[in-house]
Amino acid sequence: MPHNTSSMPVPLTGSLERFEVSKNAFLPEQLPLDRLSDPYYESWETILDQLPSLLATASLRGEVDRLQVLDISRLVSQREWQRAYLILSFFTHSYIWESGGPSERLPASISVPFLAVSSHLGLPPTATYAALNLWNFTRISPSASLSNVDNLRALHTFTGTRDEEWFYVISVAIESHGAPIIPAMLSAMDAAQADKPDTVIEALGKFSQCIREIGMILQRMDDHCQPDVFYNKIRPFLAGSKNMAVAGLPNGVFYDEGEGKGQWRQYSGGSNAQSSLIQFLDVALGVEHSLTGAKKGSNPGFLNEMRNYMPGPHRAFLQHVESVSNIRNYAATNTEVAIAYNAAVEELSHFRDIHIQIVTRYIINPSRKQGPVKNAGMNLAVASTHSKTKSLHGTGGTALIPFLKQSRDETKATSLQ
């Protein structure tokens, strides 16, 4: 994507509402709903309340098969649509990946409402980062910041474990803590256009500090999430239906729409590459992830594809910012700005190194251990552990370490000489 310094309007903070970008960045302005109030949806809420125990006893599919196909016309507010999307995301991945081996069919009681809700929100009918993180949290103390991870709770998990809850709220805290970067970098784009180097340098300094701090939040993953619990119990439920032949879904999943209708679909699972904040960092600095130097097994188009897994307005925001992103070009014309710019690129590269270390500890290392002895069927953990292939895939369906290292190397390559 070419970067320009033309007179195209930069989306100033006042107009961010149309992109559903709030003071909490891509998190909603108000806390997500913890229940749909209309009693019509009580059967959904009841199953969601019992989800971890139903999955532990392999009785979730039986419960879902008895559900009626509910009409989504009673959903009114945006928060209700988001809540319905969360519920149906959890149902979908629970139904597919319940122990005993994956289900290649999703029943109409999930498919029919999920397709409608997803269409309304501009999202695919699968468990995305939005469902698992952006719309799946609450706070313990009303006065504490959302970037304080100790003050956050996840509304729902597949496993009922503290480990899974912690895995989600780390991402929520990162999203919240990164929020000030957005107005700062948009102002910097305005300032670059107006040739105000001091403002750009100040914004890049804020950017560097903020990235350093979100790296520290990410490193707290170890506090309450154990690698073996994540790998064997949590990660299998995050897997999608795309590139999952190794885990027992060669054709993806058939979304049954009733009366003999339906179609086979393949979707990536939840992935941090679906975080609009993480992609904004690249766009703001003009980091380009391309085919250049692509290693075998990596997927350079993956990040662009992951935008289709973001809420529609967030996707539009990134596209808009991409069209006005001018900071790298401006830094190339001013030595002091270039120094601040390179420092920001260095911090972003370091953040990617931290991510690689986490993935190594939570996925690569456990995959080398003997698989779980007590296993009643195939899932991503079992398949990965026993896989003869060297390339371990992420829940998003892409080759994991080659992709992450390529992203890190492309970030470093953005530095100005």
Helix ranges (DSSP H) in 159-275: 162-177, 181-193, 197-218, 227-229, 235-238
CA–CA distances in Å: residue 14 to residues 23, 188, 277, 320, 393: 11, 15, 18, 15, 41
SS3 call for 56:
helix
Closest-CA residue to 155 (of 170, 139, 137): 137
Q: Is 314 annotated as a binding residue?
A: no
Angle at 277 between CA 269 and CA 203, to 5 degrees: 165
SS3 call for 75:
coil
Give the Cα separation of 112 and 61 in Å (integer): 16
Give the Cα separation of 48 and 157 in Å (integer): 9
Question: CB burial class (10 A; 0-12, 13-18, 19+) of residue 191?
Answer: buried
Q: How many Cβ atoms from other residues are within 10 Å of residue 141's Cβ? A: 9
SS3 call for 257:
strand
Give the Cα separation of 270 and 396 in Å (integer): 6
Binding residues for heme b, by number, are: 355
Binding residues, by number, are: 355
